[in-house]
């Protein structure tokens, strides 16, 4: 390991330079397995091959995170859909409840109208009966008038001259 110091605007930094020692030292199977993982070519090695495997673990965790995020998004979409369905069905139920209330009010009004129609029908029947009675009364009145006219005519035309068998003054 070499140390370099750089001066930049009166700040001192130590830069570490690592050499990959995996090529020069024989490792055990466990360590070799740790260090021989596939490395991404875009990430430069830091010199510690076991430390460089964090990117693999990061990718795995990132994959699991993205998978969980997709699952959460799917569940959120399902929740939004079900909430929309619930709202739609609730609105439908509320409208049906209003229609039911209005239909009850309309039925009550129709019952009142039916009652009035029955009364009107009964009154119409009684009116027809009364008109028939009135017709009979008027017909009887005219018949009595005709009878009185005939009687009056007979009375007026009655001969008041004494007949041979009737005495004077009787």
> What is the chain's alpha carbon radius of gyration, rounded to the nearest angstrom?
61
Average pLDDT value over all residues in the chain: 79
Confidence at 23, pLDDT banded by 50, 70, 90: low
* Residue of higher predicted confidence among 77 and 159: 77
CB atoms within 10 A of CB 7: 8
Q: What angle do CA 37, 39, 40 make, to 5 degrees?
A: 150
Domain coverage including residue 19: 2-50
The predicted model gives 15-20 an average pLDDT of: 49
Note whether residue 30 is domain-resident: yes
User: Which residues, in sequence order, are CB contacts of 40 under 8 Å at separation 6+?
Assistant: 55
Mean pLDDT of 6-27: 50
Tens of pLDDT, residue by residue over 91-135, are: 999 999 999 999 999 999 999 999 999 999 999 999 999 999 999
Q: Could you tell me if residue 150 is inside a domain? A: no
Q: Which residue has tokens 């990117």?
A: 55
pLDDT of 19 strictly over 80: no
Locate 100 and state its tokens: 């039911």
- Asked whether 101 and 95 are in contact (CB, 8 A), the reply is no
pLDDT band at 165 (very low <50, low <70, confident <90, very high): low
> Is residue 86 a part of any domain in this protein?
no
- Domains in the chain, number: 1
CB-based contacts of 37: which residues, under 8 Å, 6+ apart?
Answer: 53, 56
% of the chain with per-residue pLDDT over 70: 62
The answer to whether residue 87 is domain-embedded is no
For 37, the token pair is 């993982």
| Residue 16 maps to a domain | yes
CA 132 from chain centre, in angstroms, equals 59
Tell me whether residue 11 is in a domain.
yes
With respect to residue 37, please indicate whether it lies within any of the assigned structural domains: yes
**54 near 45, Cβ under 8 Å?**
no
Specify if 26 maps to a domain.
Answer: yes
């Amino acid at each position: 390991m070499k140390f370099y110091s750089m001066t930049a605007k009166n700040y001192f930094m130590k830069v570490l330079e690592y050499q990959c020692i995996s090529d020069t030292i024989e490792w055990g199977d466990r360590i070799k397995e740790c260090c021989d993982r596939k490395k991404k070519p875009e990430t430069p090695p830091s010199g510690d091959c076991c430390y460089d495997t964090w990117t693999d673990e990061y990718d795995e965790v990132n994959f699991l995170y993205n998978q969980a995020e997709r699952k959460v998004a799917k569940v959120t979409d399902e929740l939004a859909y079900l909430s929309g369905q619930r709202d739609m069905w609730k609105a439908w139920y509320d409208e049906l409840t209003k229609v039911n209330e209005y239909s009850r009010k309309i039925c009550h009004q129709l019952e009142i109208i039916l009652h009035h129609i029955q009364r009107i029908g009964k009154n119409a029947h009684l009116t027809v009966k009364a008109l028939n009675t009135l017709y009979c009364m008027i017909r009887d009145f005219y018949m009595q008038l005709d009878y009185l006219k005939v009687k009056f005519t007979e009375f007026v035309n009655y001969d008041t001259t004494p007949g041979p068998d009737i005495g004077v003054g009787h």
